[in-house]
Amino acid sequence: MRRLLAGSTSTSAADALLWHFGKRYGIALSRKASEMTKTAVEGMNLLVTGAQKSGWGMISVQNRLDSDGTVEVVFENCAFCEGIHDEKGPSCYFLAGILSGIAEVLFGDGYSARETKCKAVRGDLCSFLVARF
């Protein structure tokens, strides 16, 4: 989808659009999860389980909010960049937006997600850091 959008606009415009679409989706998902759970951690666990069952990949979460104010989210076999190779930089803007929306609702204003490793660049996983940026 990123390449199709970039073909009719530009890569930076496509990345921004996908991130914002993802953020709105993440906000909606996490609001629903918040209604179904009692704590942010329970909400996060519910969303991880749902994402894995939906085929987004194997997901692990390292919650370090209490120690350094961050959460690391790792997607093995990331569905969002499957089949994409040799990118020059991270390409999972939709997923980064989703995680940013989730973080904003579950952890508060100012939290966002940035992709730190991308399977499309090289390697076998995508990793995101959630923090106040």
62 burial (CB, 10 Å; 0-12 / 13-18 / 19+) is exposed
Q: What is the pLDDT of residues 76-127, one digit of tens each?
A: 989 888 888 888 888 899 999 999 999 999 999 999 999 999 999 987 899 9
Whether 94 and 22 have beta carbons less than 8 Å apart is answered as: yes
- CATH number of the CATH domain containing 112: 3.30.1380.20
Q: What is the pLDDT of residues 89-98, one digit of tens each?
A: 888 999 999 9
Structural domain boundaries enclosing 28: 2-132
Q: How far is CA 77 from the centre of its chain?
A: 14
pLDDT of residue 81: 86
Which of residues 85 and 48 earns the better pLDDT score?
48
Q: How far apart are CA 70 and CA 57, in angstroms?
A: 21
| Domain tally, the chain | 1
- pLDDT > 70 in the chain, percent: 100
The overall average pLDDT reported for the chain is: 92
